Structure 1
Amino acid sequence: MGGDDHYGIWPHDRNSCLSVSWIVSKCRKPPTVLDESHGSLPGRTGRAFDSGGSMRFPPLNKKSNVMDIAPMVDLVFLLLVFFMVGSKFATPSLEMELPSASSGNNSDSENIIISVDRKERIYLAGTEVNQTSLSERLSEMIRKRPGTQVLLRADGKITYNLFVQVMDRTRKAGVQNLRLEYEPK
């Protein structure tokens, strides 16, 4: 091997006048019988010859270093779809500036209280008023104490229509700071 060229001849022994048939005869190997350690195919008789054109299989004990990543890619896409469908999307909300409280609770003496009972009677600061006089008296109280918080206490059994009318009257009176009070369940 060491120092041989393609035809098994040492470079200094090369003869330029060699015939082509001699080179071809040197290149061809006679058919050799494969040894019995390779085994035989079922249903075949005779022996296999190694004539240069036979099909060679890779050895069975050699392991491949190539890893198939297609199943992993499928799994990643399935997880991606699962988390996209299962996630809770952020709901759009209005930009608001929430008020900050200096103390936990304001006392009722600092607030103007409007109450509506089950019989749909309206009370302003403890005295009964009708809907038309509510906005007039409330606007007078707001002018005397600007920035005062108005607290609306309504019974749960009143009609929704009356509740909306009372809220409209407070807005017409110029109330900027209205708070609803309810009893938690």
Structure 2
Amino acid sequence: MKFHRQPRTENGINLTPLIDVVFLLLIFFMVSTTFTRETRLVVELPEAEGQMTEAAPETLEIVVAKDNSYSVNGRLLVNREIDTLMDALEEVSAGKRDIPLVISADSDTSHRAVVTAMDAAGRLGFTQLRIATQEPAEEPQ
């Protein structure tokens, strides 16, 4: 005697089409997304409160202009590279690392240019680093 078996029915959901759709959505979002790279940090430089002090007679000053160019003790550098800045600091300081170094930057200067100046001073071993600020404007009463 031959018995006929009932065909088995699957109890569950086939997930293959669902996974296909999820991967298609993932690929679509990866391809259609655009990434923006921020190259400039917007930083409002601090304002100092307190009395002005007389600068020491022998100081080095790095001025960072609005266009991110550097000048050391009033002498404009030929480019914006850190090596050029380090060479100029080395020449002006004549090997003295205990001279106070003041960094003055325009308020519209990128933060990267100021950090580059600080990095150059740190690499050369200057220990007395100051950042110049301006006094806050008087508020009308």
Tell me the TM-score normalized by structure 1: 0.40
In percent, how many aligned pairs have the same letter? 20
Q: Which residue of 2 aligns with 1:137?
A: 88
Q: Which residue of 2 aligns with 1:122?
A: 70
Match 1:162 to one of 109, 113, 118: 113
User: 1:146, 1:121 → 2: CA distance?
Assistant: 23
Q: Relative to 1, partners in 2 of residues 1:174 and 1:143: Cα closer, same or farther, differing over 3 Å?
A: farther
SS at match of 2:104: strand
User: 1:176, 1:140 → 2: CA distance?
Assistant: 17
Match 2:101 to one of 150, 162, 184: 150
Matches within 5 A, 1:1-185: 104-107=53-56, 109-129=57-77, 130=79, 131=81, 132-185=83-136
One-letter amino acid matched to 1:149: P
Q: Relative to 1, partners in 2 of residues 1:164 and 1:146: Cα closer, same or farther, differing over 3 Å?
A: closer
SS at match of 2:98: coil
Count of residue pairs brought into register by the alignment: 81
Which deviations, in whole Å up to 9, do the C-alpha atoms of 1:16-47 show, x marking residues without a partner? xxxxxxxxxxxxxxxxxxxxxxxxxxxxxxxx
SS at match of 1:105: coil
CA contact (8 A) 1:112 1:124 kept: yes
- Shift in Å at residue 170 of structure 1? 1.4
- Shift in Å at residue 111 of structure 1? 0.6
One-letter amino acid matched to 1:168: D
One-letter amino acid matched to 1:123: S
- Shift in Å at residue 134 of structure 1? 0.7
Instruction: Return 5+ residue gaps in structure 1 as ranges.
Output: 1-103
Tell me the TM-score normalized by structure 2: 0.51
Which deviations, in whole Å up to 9, do the C-alpha atoms of 1:126-185 show, x marking residues without a partner? 111133211122123334444210010001101112211121111112211111001122
RMSD: 1.8
